[in-house]
Amino acid sequence: MNRKASLWAVSLFVVLLLLVPSAGHAEKDDDDKPLKPVPKAFADKHMPKGWWTDTKIIAEGKKIFETREITYTYKRKEKTAKDGCATCHAINKKKDRPKKRGARDFRVGKRMHRFSDSYWFWRTSEGVKKTSMPAWGKELTEEEIWKVIAYEHTWSHGDKPAVHEHKEIERSVEK
């Protein structure tokens, strides 16, 4: 390949990297764009009363988050999350970000405070299509999903329990 063709190929590659979102990334929901509406089937799903701040529930959620194994298919390949949600979402201390590139960082309150409990439950239960976020609804009970969400919620509050009452919450439901 000549020098001119090599430069063209490298330039094209860089442009594609910038323009094409990675399939491994979590669903694109920029902080200034509305979230996808919650399907009607999930619109009435809500955190059980008192669970946002129940330290026993949060501790149980942490255990599930860190240990529940799931096998799922991504890009037609079978994968296993051996450390549960932590496989992707736990923080890589050296890089100060989630272990898996594109995984949701639950510490970012600006984003996480937008999630209604229905939206959060839907995404955890059904996964996110065209990403490596698997559907946990067949692996976990509804109660276990709520416990995990209660634990994840503490991350955006300095690892402390807090009621999920944020002015940023988006509550749109599919029509």
pLDDT at 18: 44
Give a yes or no: residue 170 inside a domain: no
Give a yes or no: residue 167 inside a domain: no
Q: Is the pLDDT score of 43 beyond 60?
A: yes
Give a yes or no: residue 165 inside a domain: no
Q: What's the CA gap between 91 and 106, in Å, rounded?
A: 9
CATH code at 37?
A: 1.10.760.10
pLDDT at 132: 83
pTM: 0.79
- What's the first-to-final CA gap in the chain, in angstroms? 54
How many domains would you assign to the chain?
1
Partner residues linked to 80 by β-bridges? 71
Range 19-40 average pLDDT: 63
Residue 72 belongs to what domain range?
A: 24-155
Higher pLDDT, 8 or 105: 105
Phi, psi of 38 (to 5 degrees): -75, 135
Give a yes or no: residue 113 inside a domain: yes
Give a yes or no: residue 97 inside a domain: yes
Higher pLDDT, 67 or 15: 67
pLDDT at 171: 92
Closest CA to 151 of 142, 162, 141: 162
Give a yes or no: residue 4 inside a domain: no
- Output the CA torsion sign for 44, 83, 104, 76: negative
Give a yes or no: residue 160 inside a domain: no
